[in-house]
Amino acid sequence: MEPKAETSHKLVFEKEGVYLHTNAKRSNQDTTIPGFIRIVERGGEPALEWSALEDEGRNAAAVFYTKKDGEGGVEDTNFDPGYEPDWAVISTVKRDRVREHPPVKETSQWSFSLPLSELYSLRRSRFSLGRNFLVFTSRGGHPLPPLHFHRGGTRELLRALQRYIILAPSPVDGRLFLAYPHDSGALSQSFDELHLFDDGSSDLVSRFIQDPYATTFGGFSKVTNFFRGALRPPDSPFHSRGPQDHHGPPSADDEPGFELITCGVELGPKPDVIRGQPLDKWEEFLDPEGRVKDPQQIKDLVFRGGITPSLRKDVWKFLLGFYPWNSTVKEREDILRMKTDEYFRMKVQWKSVSEEQEMRNSLLRGYRSLIERDVSRTDRHNTFFSGNDNPGLTLLNDVLMTYCMFNFDLGYVQGMSDLLAPLLFVTQNEVESFWCLTGFMEMVHQNFEESQEAMKQQLLQLSLLMKALDPELLDYLDSQDSGSLCFCFRWLLIWFKREFSFEDILSLWEVLWTRLPCENFHLLMAASILESQRGEFIGSDHDFNTILKHINELTMKLDLQTVLRGAEANYLQLACCKELPVKVQEVIGLYVPPSPDVETSPESESHETQQLLSQSQAATETSQSSNSTAAAAARPRPTYP
């Protein structure tokens, strides 16, 4: 009898150093098994396989997952995987009866082979120490043990999976991706048809998995709504409504986190606003020892007209907290010396890491790779960063790497290079640009947090403003599935960096740094831009796709001074309304809940400088509280002509 021919197989992908964790509650040598992850085609069908290192040279994996068709499974209620992942959705599994799989010989009990046609989802996450891990779930609902990539490789694996399946981000969990075959009817509308990206790249999902911010920068700002119909099962009570019930009552799940606000009041006419001239004098605002005599006056002037380019290097350092407003020239010299020492102490931390050390630090390695890639494409049209071997690029790289040492929790997130480039261009100084960046990040660091809760909150606040300022426009956008204003994501994330010219951004940011007339003035800017497009939208046949395309095409076509005037007019119009809803008042800073805190006294404000200087002293001294009990008078609002 002739031996049966073995099924041909083809190795598509392989990665070593992938550890299977058998118990999520403990992590030691007894619960982590080193092994290989592979994508293998067997008989033309691709499968994802993991096998223990000790099993190399043996036959196929011991565990095979099959379709949940009710034909070949006996429920095993005593199955105990040895771990309790928070993503587990079932408490039982089915043990498969004999099927037409190759025989298994002496293999590890944890090895598995999962046909990609049976892959339902994967969850991608990262521990604080930087090791990425993936959890795969089969269509039968079986979560596999977590696979930890101690040597990296998750991105390469996901790119390899893209050859066979589509990975769609879940609308309710940004770390969860659902698997679909390439011919899935639910995703038949291609991204190329939507023209969401300038480069027309079709490798969307892998780009979104790797760099959600970069993907958003390219124009894709509504992943959730696009996939909403695809990711909900057909029988879901929250499945998208058809055209016939478009005007039916909306489901509470349609726009999570967005509440319906009815303004209920009439706003007065929008006032005319006149912008001022840039701040072109500096010395006259300083006292004999170099203190800024009236910081509020400086902020008012900057808000009204910006700063003359020759003064930006000096004034920006005050606006961004590098120097306290009441510091003397001598104190600023000491602060600069102390800050320089501190910067280079942090810089040497990553500079002294050897290649061998970095091989065991996937977090630092990941930051370095991401920074190098972003630096190579940040503002290259600007002469300060153009060309190869440009020292400006080296400074950009070094400052961002050092920021990772300064802020371990946040590290580097894509988009931060966009924030640093103008700072480095103006200061022309590595140390000063770094500390200006830390001040800027104090204002916007929530934008870059993984949960994106701050971004969701800002979109909600923008929606509230639009409901008050132009409810008809918001209703129209809502009728075209655009009421959540997610296409404004990029605007808010990096403060319009990609929407205006480089020179305009220098003027815009210094205005926003004054935090006048309210901290959410950037939201009033966004509302001003949307209102300027009212005539384009109202009465047109735009749908969501063409609205998104139109918004993206506004880049470099907006007049900054017109937008600023519109934003200030919006603020004045809302501020003059005596019956403005409290939630809108909160957005523009007009409603402040009663607080027992007493406003800081001038003495305690001057103590800020001494506290900053004391950080450079080796001896620890007990800080003395201010003796003054008198509260400073409330700072006046900016005056308007």
- Residues in contact with 317: Cβ distance below 8 Å, sequence separation at least 6, in sequence order: 323, 427, 432, 435, 436
Alpha-carbon span 491 to 65, nearest angstrom:
45
Within 10 A of 593 (CB to CB), how many other CB atoms are there? 6
Residue 112 — very low, low, confident or very high, per pLDDT cuts 50/70/90? confident
Residue 172: the pLDDT is 62
Whether pLDDT at 332 is above 60: yes
Stretch 329-336: mean pLDDT? 97
- The strand order across the sheet containing 45-52 reads 63-64, 112-115, 45-52, 32-42, 9-21, 147-149, 132-138, 119-126, 176-181, 165-169
Residue 605: the pLDDT is 44
Alpha-carbon span 388 to 175, nearest angstrom:
36
* Residue predicted with more confidence, 538 or 560: 560
Stretch 496-520: mean pLDDT? 96
- Residues in contact with 618: Cβ distance below 8 Å, sequence separation at least 6, in sequence order: none
Contact 493, 447 (CB under 8 A): yes
pLDDT tens digits for range 425-465:
999 999 999 999 999 999 999 999 888 899 999 999 999 99
Contact 463, 471 (CB under 8 A): no
- Residues in contact with 511: Cβ distance below 8 Å, sequence separation at least 6, in sequence order: 302, 303, 306, 521, 564
Contact 170, 132 (CB under 8 A): no
**Which of 56-65, 75-84, 273-282, 393-402 shows the lowest per-residue confidence on average (mean pLDDT)?**
75-84
**Which of 2-6, 85-89, 399-403 shows the lowest per-residue confidence on average (mean pLDDT)?**
85-89
Alpha-carbon span 112 to 49, nearest angstrom:
6
pLDDT tens digits for range 359-395:
998 889 999 999 999 999 899 999 999 888 889 999 9
Alpha-carbon span 418 to 322, nearest angstrom:
20
- Please give the full DSSP string across 123-163, using - where no structure is assigned: EEEE-TT--EEEEEEETTS-BPPPEEETT--HHHHHHHHTT
Residue 545 — very low, low, confident or very high, per pLDDT cuts 50/70/90? confident
Tracing tokens 């290079």 back to the chain, one arrives at 417
Alpha-carbon span 144 to 180, nearest angstrom:
18
Task: Please give the model's pTM, rounded to 2 decimal places.
Answer: 0.59
* Residue predicted with more confidence, 69 or 491: 491
- Please name the amino acid found at residue 141: G
Alpha-carbon span 507 to 422, nearest angstrom:
11
Stretch 9-20: mean pLDDT? 87
Alpha-carbon span 232 to 134, nearest angstrom:
22
Task: Report the candidate in 377, 363, 340, 458 with the shortest Cα–Cα distance to residue 412.
Answer: 363
Residue 168 — very low, low, confident or very high, per pLDDT cuts 50/70/90? confident
pLDDT tens digits for range 215-262:
554 444 333 343 333 333 333 333 333 333 433 333 333 333 333 344
Stretch 100-117: mean pLDDT? 62
- Please give the full DSSP string across 592-625, using - where no structure is assigned: -----PPPPPHHHHHHHHHHHHHTT-SS--PPPP
Apex CA 143: angle with CA 140 and CA 145, to 5°?
Answer: 145
Alpha-carbon span 468 to 264, nearest angstrom:
8
Residue 450: the pLDDT is 84
Whether pLDDT at 135 is above 60: yes
